[in-house]
């Protein structure tokens, strides 16, 4: 995927996120439809390459009509992007949403455990060339989520906004590098241990 295509994906992700913030969450019926379509696609890409999956197969697996699908998504790639965004939005904002009283900036243990249990999906994304799309999107989501958590921590009151944003972006990159390292080595370490390791790096580097 070219740099321009990756930039477009990131712009679409930000637009989706801001759209949800402006207009609120979709209604329950729409949410269930998205979940059914997303689950169907995830199941299919564990069976074969996404390039070989057809929209009709997704519709048949999800028991959703074609007109309903195209009301929400342009194509199967748009559906995949939506699923990745939903996961990243949930993980990057989880601590702030539940107002966790800790110095964690990302729910690393929870995220690593979830991804570790979905190794087939991770491998499927790699095999079809979409893994970099996931990490490109994740960089933006986690940079914003980490920045918010750093502000909520109250430990960096004098840090200029530009430096705060730069540090948050760097920490997001470190998180994703750590995730790649963990997965590529077979996810041998406990997710909780990876959480502790990451946050030691976070606060030792910021002090």
For 75-133, the pLDDT digits (tens) are 998 999 899 999 999 999 999 999 999 999 999 999 999 999 988 888 888 887 888 88
Question: Do the Cβ atoms of 58 and 44 come closer than 8 Å?
Answer: yes
Measured torsion, CA atoms of residues 164, 170, 175, 180, in degrees rounded to the nearest 10: 160
How large a percentage of the chain has pLDDT more than 90?
Answer: 65
How large a percentage of the chain has pLDDT more than 70?
Answer: 86
Question: Do the Cβ atoms of 111 and 175 come closer than 8 Å?
Answer: no
Q: What is the pLDDT of residue 22?
A: 35
Residue with the larger pLDDT of the pair 206 and 122: 122
Report whether pLDDT(6) > 60. no
The tokens 């959480």 sit on which residue? 195
Domain 3-206 falls in which CATH fold? Tetracycline Repressor; domain 2 (1.10.357)
Instruction: State the Cα–Cα distance between residues 181 and 183, nearest whole angstrom.
Output: 6
Q: What is the mean pLDDT of residues 37-43?
A: 94
Q: What is the mean pLDDT of residues 65-72?
A: 94
Q: List the single range of 36-50, 65-79, 121-135 with lowest mean pLDDT.
A: 121-135
Residue with the larger pLDDT of the pair 22 and 59: 59
Q: Confidence band (pLDDT; 50, 70, 90) for 26?
A: low
Q: What is the mean pLDDT of residues 16-41?
A: 72
3-state secondary structure 27-61: CHHHHHHHHHHHHHHHHHHCCCCHHHCCHHHHHHH
Q: Provide φ and ψ at 188, rounded to 5°.
A: -75, -35
Q: What is the pLDDT of residue 144?
A: 97
List % helix, strand, coil for the chain (3-state, nearest 5): 75, 0, 25
Six-digit token string for 168: 């948050």
203: Cβ contacts below 8 Å, ≥ 6 apart: 103
Q: What is the mean pLDDT of residues 60-77?
A: 94
Rg (CA), the chain: 18
Q: What is the pLDDT of residue 124?
A: 83
25: left (phi over 0), alpha (psi -120 to 50) or beta: beta
Query: Which runs of consecutive H residues, i.e. helices, occur in 107-160?
Result: 108-116, 119-127, 131-153
The string of pLDDT tens digits covering residues 119-177 is 888 888 888 788 888 999 999 999 999 999 999 998 887 889 999 999 999 999 999 99
């Amino acid at each position: 995927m070219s740099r321009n295509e990756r930039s477009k994906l990131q712009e679409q992700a930000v637009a989706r996120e801001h759209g949800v913030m402006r207009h609120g969450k979709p209604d329950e019926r729409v949410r269930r439809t998205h979940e059914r379509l997303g689950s169907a696609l995830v199941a299919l890409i564990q069976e074969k390459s996404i390039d070989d999956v057809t929209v009709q197969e997704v519709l048949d697996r999800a028991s959703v009509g074609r007109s309903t699908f195209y009301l929400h998504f342009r194509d199967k790639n748009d559906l995949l992007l939506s699923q990745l965004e939903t996961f990243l939005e949930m993980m990057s904002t989880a601590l702030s949403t539940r107002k966790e009283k800790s110095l964690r900036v990302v729910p690393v243990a929870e995220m690593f455990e979830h991804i570790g249990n979905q190794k087939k999906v991770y491998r499927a994304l790699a095999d079809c060339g979409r893994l970099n799309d996931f990490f490109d999107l994740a960089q933006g989501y986690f940079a914003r989520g980490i920045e918010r958590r750093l502000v909520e921590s109250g430990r960096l009151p004098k840090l200029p906004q530009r430096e705060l944003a730069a540090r948050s972006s760097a920490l997001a990159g470190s998180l994703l590098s750590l995730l790649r390292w963990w997965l590529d080595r077979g996810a041998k370490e406990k997710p909780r241990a990876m959480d502790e390791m990451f946050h030691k790096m976070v606060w030792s580097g910021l002090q």
